[in-house]
């Protein structure tokens, strides 16, 4: 997969400057906060500069190995987050209304139930106490799917916190 870093940097900068500009946010189109993207780009540019000077940092070797192992799972979490936004309508504006940790609580509830999935005599039929929303919204599934949803909810909470930080 090839990414035009300069274009991505410009889109992320525009999206970061005005969090309410729907055109900028749609053009940016990433599942992670623009501030995070800009930090990652800065890190990439720093490593390019180091490499240009003839020195290859060990970190690049380590990251490439991590990238290979984590790519599929990370893409699944990002894909779920995108589904939550586009299909379920859990937009940034909607997520910003959850100011008392509901997104993190929901992620915790899903992860906790995913943990119990392989335990004998435990059925995932009771709504966990941490689940912040109505009983009808609790939809347990397979262990891996619940962990993917938990990861996507953590991303939503991190993005919400990043937007809050930008506003302060």
Q: What is the pLDDT of residues 73-130, one digit of tens each?
A: 888 899 999 999 999 999 999 999 999 999 999 999 999 988 777 666 566 668 889 9
Verdict on whether the full-model pTM lies above 0.85: no
Number of domains in the chain: 2
SS (H, E, C) 84-140: HHHCCCCCHHHHCCCCCCHHHHHHHHHHHHHHHCCCCCCCCCCCCCCCCCCHHHCCC
Residue 62 lies in a domain: no
Alpha-carbon Rg for the chain, nearest whole angstrom, is 19
CA distance 6 to 27: 14
Q: Are both 138 and 165 inside the same structural domain? A: yes
Q: Which domain holds residue 25?
A: 1-56
Residue 63 lies in a domain: no
Q: Are both 43 and 100 inside the same structural domain? A: no
Residue 144 lies in a domain: yes
Nearest Cα neighbor of 31 from 121, 138, 158, 142 is 158
């Amino acid at each position: 997969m090839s990414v035009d870093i300069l274009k991505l940097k410009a889109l992320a900068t525009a999206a970061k400057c005005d969090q309410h500009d729907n055109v900028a946010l749609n053009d940016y189109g990433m599942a992670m906060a623009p501030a995070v993207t800009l930090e990652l780009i800065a890190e990439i540019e720093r490593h390019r500069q180091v490499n240009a000077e003839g020195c290859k940092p060990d970190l690049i070797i380590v990251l490439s190995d991590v990238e290979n192992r984590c790519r599929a799972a990370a893409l699944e979490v990002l894909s779920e987050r995108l589904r939550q936004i586009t299909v379920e309508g859990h937009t940034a504006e909607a997520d910003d209304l959850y100011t008392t940790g509901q997104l993190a609580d929901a992620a915790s509830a899903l992860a906790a139930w995913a943990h119990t999935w392989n335990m004998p005599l435990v059925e995932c039929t009771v709504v966990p106490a941490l689940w912040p929303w109505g009983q009808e919204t609790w939809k347990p599934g397979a262990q891996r799917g619940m962990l993917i949803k938990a990861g996507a909810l953590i991303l939503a909470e991190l993005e919400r916190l990043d937007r809050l930080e930008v506003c302060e």
